[in-house]
Structure formats: C-alpha cells, structure tokens
Amino acid sequence: MPRIPQETINRIRETADIVDVVSHHVNLTKRGRNFFGLCPFHNEKTPSFSVAPDKGIYHCFGCGNGGSAINFIMEIEKVSFVEAVAQLGNQLGIEIQFSGNDDSNQFFDKLYEIHDFAAELFHKTLFSDQGEKAKQYLLKRGLNEASLKLFNVGFVPENSSYLFNSIKSKNYDKDVMEKSGLFGFSGSKTYDRFRSRIMFPISTRAGKIIAFGGRIFGKDDPAKYMNSPETPLYKKSQVFYGLDITRDAIIKKESAILVEGYTDLIQLYQAGIKNVVAVSGTAFTEQHVNAIRNFTSKVYLCYDGDLAGINAAKKAGYTLLKGGIDSKVIVIPDGLDPDDWILRDGKEEFESNGINKSLELLKFHLRSSNYTKKSISEKSQIMDEILIEVSEVQEPLIRQDFIKKLAVVGGIEENAVLQMLTKIQMKKRNYQHSDEKQKPKDNTYRDINDKAELGIIKVLLSNDEKARSFIKENLSIDQIKNPKSNKLVEILLKTEDVNPVEIISSFSSPEERELISKTLMDEDKTSSNMQMAEDCINTLAKESIKKEVEQLRIKIREMEAKDQDTTELMKKIIEIQKKLHA
C-alpha cells in the first residue's frame, strides 16, 4: 500500500476545516461555539452529533463516534487512512507524494488511468463490429452518434476477460486492480465485473472517470443495471451522472432537472434541455443535497411515471426539503420514462406540459395519493405520512410554510395541522426515550477512581498551564488504572501544547477516540482546573494508599498463618492510615 509522508499528513490535518468536511454529509446548525446535526453513523431524530471548529474534532453523544476530519472521512466512506488523507489532500489542493515502491507512488493516478483505459476501450468497441448491435439498439432508442460520443458511451462484449486481457500487459499492481472495482477474483483467476453491457462512464465534476454504470444487452440477466462498487475514487451517494457536462447549464438556468437514468439524461440533453443531472445508480441522499446545493437551490424532479418512480420522486422531494432546497415534480404521463416522453413529444411539449406545469411537492403527494377521493381515515393516514416527513425539517421557516400550505391544500385548519404535528413529534420523543432506556449503560467511569482519572484527562487537555504542571509534578502514571485512560494520560504528560487533532490522531481504536472526543467536547465549568487537579490527585493518592494497606493486610494474614511476627507490618499500616486521614 502507498504511504504518505508525515509532514504532508500534518499539513492536511492543519488545513482541513472540520465543519466543511462534515457538512458535505451532515446538515449542520450552529449553536454557540459548536455545530450540531443528525448523526450519520446511527439512526436518530434529535441531533446529538457535535462538531467543534476551534478544536478540529467531532463527537456524537449518542453513539460515541468521534475524531478528526480524517477519521470522519474514514468512517463515513469506509476507506483506509491513506485513502482518506489522499481524498482530503485532493480537496484542499495539497499535492500528495506517495512514498514506497513505484506503483505506490502513483496509486490514485493508476486508478484513474485504468478507468480512462476502460472507457476508451468500451467506447471504441461500441463503434466496432463487436458493438454494432448495441449501437443500433441505442440509435433506435433515439440517441444519435454525437450524443454517444459526447457522453463516451461504450459496450463490453460477453467475454469474461475482455478488459483484463486488454490491460494485463500494463502489469498493474494487484491492489490497484482490486481497488478499481472493475474486476473480480476467484483463486488465481481474474475476470471482468462488467460483461455484455452498454457502458456509461461516471465522472467527477472535473471530468475524471471514476466508475461505470452498465445496462445489460444481448443476454438475460435479472440485474438490468449494474454499477461499479464503491472504491477510493467512487462514492455513489455523492456523485451525479453527467454533472461534468451539464454543470454550466445548471448554473446558467439556476435550476436542475433531476432524473434517474443515464439515457433519460442523454435524451433530455440531446433535445436541448441541458440543465439536467442523474443520480448515479443509487437513491437520492442527503449527500446529494449537499452536492447539488453548490450549483442551484431549485430542483425539478423528473422520475418515471410508474408507481416506483412516483414514490422515489416523493422521497427525493422530502430529502431536498429537509436540506432547504425548493423542489417541484414534473408529472410524467403514465407508464413513460422521461426519455420516452421527450422522444415521443419533443422539447416544447416537455417544457410546456412538464416543466411549466410541474407541481409543488405537497400537491404532488396529495394528487398521487388520490387524496380527494379517500375516506376520512385514509386522508388522516396520508396527512400522517406527510407530517412525519415535515417533522424532520430542521429549518423553522420552511417547516412553518409547509404547514400553512398543507392546511390550505388539505382543507384543514392550521391549528389542527399543528396539533397533528405535535402529536407525531411526541410519539417520536417517547419512542426515542424508550429506545434509550433499552440501550446497555456504559459502566466506564462510574466509580470515584475512574472519575478522578477522567478529571485528570480534562485538566491535561485544558490550556491551564498551572493546573497541568501541578498534575505533571504530582501524578505517577501507574496510578491510572484504566488502560484507555493510561495511554491517553501518558501521551498528555509528554505534550507541551494541547492540539486536539494531533492528540486524537494518536489513537486508532474507535473506543479510545470515543473517550477522547467526548472529553474534548465536554466543557466542565463546575470548578476551576486547579481545584479539579488537586481533588483528582488527592483521590488517586488515597486510592493508592488504600491499595497499599490492602496488600499489607494480605501479607499479614499469610504471616499469621505461619506464626510469624507481624508487628512491623501493623505499625506500617497505622502510619499509612494516618497519612490517609491527613
């Protein structure tokens, strides 16, 4: 595996803005000095996830996950330390020079290179004799050759090693091959992940190919579409298909049309509707909201006209609403996909009866549910469905506006809607409270000695030099019995300047980081650091004396069993106990 020089890692740690890193995945709201949001690592409805910009760390008071910006990337994207550092370096514009063998020096370059090679091979194959049938199929679907070339569409035949046989002469490192997501492995055999498929390259905003979506062609396969797995390059919950080509049009139009499929996007773009973007083979997520917010604050949802498409549009709409983005839904004629519709009726029809007549999310939800034709109990159920979504909207103005519209459209008094919402919120709180009761309690730091150890850590993590010096002069490391605390205290005793990011980076264990991040986040104002230092040192000293007395008593019992004289040991115990009471 590649290695990154320590000075580069330190520079990235110092440069990374923890709030910026986390906000790509979590909607954060500032409260006091810190930012809060819903934890991405466990299900919760009340924000317990905290980010401290002045300390450069995060911590969830619900599940305990905590660490630095690098730890967050590792946890949220399930990547290695090296991959997380490299990703942050790329975002920050910090050049990464890998150390190690020759292949390691260019680990990420090799991943990009493999994808470029594969895209070029697949594209050439589509325009060769091997890809003729696939190309004719696409042309009959209404796509022209110019579009196929612009979007670099390709084809891979049924041969299980078509790409591998073309690439093996380049002698890529096996780790690079595995991390590319383009190959599978069975014993000593390597085979292509994609076979007999029309290939759509997926790129970053800058146009670098990082993955593929493949549509089955020429054989039966229950998986109509197959996408690259997540890799160091490709995180599907953050990536849009086609954005590298359509970004400028989205910015110019100040809106985006969101579709589900690759061909939907290409057809719309080909017809002259260029402010379009597609999700990359996954459901629309909060991360997508954060990504699209960089380009526009208005989104038209253009999903398939079947039941699955309607439900997906509603879900995406509420995800956008919770992220503070205005959305409308383009109503597709029953049974049609967006590409079928624009191919049949053209751009003008799509704009006049689609975009211009698009529905607000609430009206679309009620209309698609046949609200006006439902019974009273069914209407109540639909209202509950809507209000459950609205209850998760954090922005008060957006929530209030939605409630007013719901009262008007649903034909209900606004106060009645508010009462229904309050009832739902109370149910959620009761459920969460019940769930919290069932969680196993953390017995760490329950007794007085454990609490004293925690107090020592808090003082050592503070900027009170006098209190820290007192602890360094009066504490013996063997007084700290908890293994996690012992390791942390040992590091802190040697530390001159407290840097939360550097300290937390010294620990690879999530359990250790949980302790440190929580301690760093806690602001204990009940006593001064000096008072806490003295109290904790005294507590640990007394505990040490008690342990010594206990050991002496055990020795006395052993000596008495052998009829030996214990007078000196008894005197020693008395002297020690005097010290304890003093």
Q: How far apart are CA 454 and CA 91, in angstroms?
A: 36
In the 3-class helix/strand/coil scheme, how is 492-549 assigned residue by residue? HHCCCCCCHHHHHCCCCCHHHHHHHHHHHHCCCCCCCHHHHHHHHHHHHHHHHHHHHH
Q: Residue 152: how many CA atoms within 13 Å on its side-chain side?
A: 22
**CA proximity to 290, closest of 258, 330, 325:** 325
From 313, 347, 368, give the residue that closes a domain: 368
User: Could you tell me the CATH number of the domain that includes residue 298?
Assistant: 3.40.1360.10
Place of tokens 């569409």: 153
Instruction: Check residue 130 and report its DSSP letter.
Output: G
Do 244 and 360 belong together in one domain? Answer: yes
**CA proximity to 354, closest of 363, 364, 341:** 341
202: exposed, middle or buried (Cβ count in 10 Å: 0-12, 13-18, 19+)? buried
Do 159 and 206 belong together in one domain? Answer: yes
Instruction: Check residue 579 and report its DSSP letter.
Output: H
Q: Residues, the chain, total?
A: 582
Helix (H, G, I), strand (E, B) or coil at 174: helix
Do 256 and 362 belong together in one domain? Answer: yes
Do 78 and 197 belong together in one domain? Answer: no
Helix (H, G, I), strand (E, B) or coil at 375: coil
Do 520 and 414 belong together in one domain? Answer: no
Q: How far is CA 167 from the centre of its chain?
A: 33
Helix (H, G, I), strand (E, B) or coil at 137: helix
Residue 573 is encoded by which pair of tokens? 């115990």
Residue-by-residue pLDDT tens, the chain, 582 positions:
557 777 788 888 878 888 888 888 888 888 888 899 998 888 777 888 999 887 888 999 888 888 889 999 888 877 778 878 888 888 777 777 766 544 444 677 889 999 999 999 999 999 999 999 999 999 999 999 999 999 999 999 998 899 999 998 988 888 889 999 999 988 888 999 999 999 999 998 778 899 999 999 988 777 788 999 988 888 787 789 999 999 899 989 999 999 998 999 999 999 999 999 998 767 888 878 877 877 888 999 999 888 888 999 999 999 999 888 889 999 998 778 899 999 999 999 999 999 999 999 999 999 999 988 888 888 888 888 888 888 888 778 888 888 888 888 777 888 888 888 888 888 766 655 555 455 444 444 456 777 888 888 888 877 788 888 888 888 888 788 777 778 778 877 877 766 777 777 777 677 777 777 877 776 555 567 888 888 888 888 777 777 777 777 888 887 877 788 888 878 777 777 666 555
Do 429 and 457 belong together in one domain? Answer: no
Q: How far apart are CA 137 and CA 263, in angstroms?
A: 12
Q: How far apart are CA 346 and CA 196, in angstroms?
A: 31
Q: Which domain holds residue 552?
A: 448-577
Q: Is residue 443 part of a domain?
A: no
Do 321 and 273 belong together in one domain? Answer: yes
Q: Is residue 233 part of a domain?
A: no
From 102, 121, 149, give the residue that closes a domain: 102
**Helices (H) then strands (E): counts for the chain:** 26, 17
Do 468 and 397 belong together in one domain? Answer: no
Per the structure, how many domains does the chain have? 5
Q: Is residue 13 part of a domain?
A: yes
Do 69 and 133 belong together in one domain? Answer: no
For residue 282, the cross-strand partners are none
Do 297 and 395 belong together in one domain? Answer: no
For residue 318, the cross-strand partners are none
Q: Is residue 357 part of a domain?
A: yes
In the sheet with 326-329, reading across from the earlier edge strand, the strands are 240-241, 276-279, 256-259, 298-301, 326-329, 359-360
Beta strand 34-37 pairing with 29-31:
antiparallel
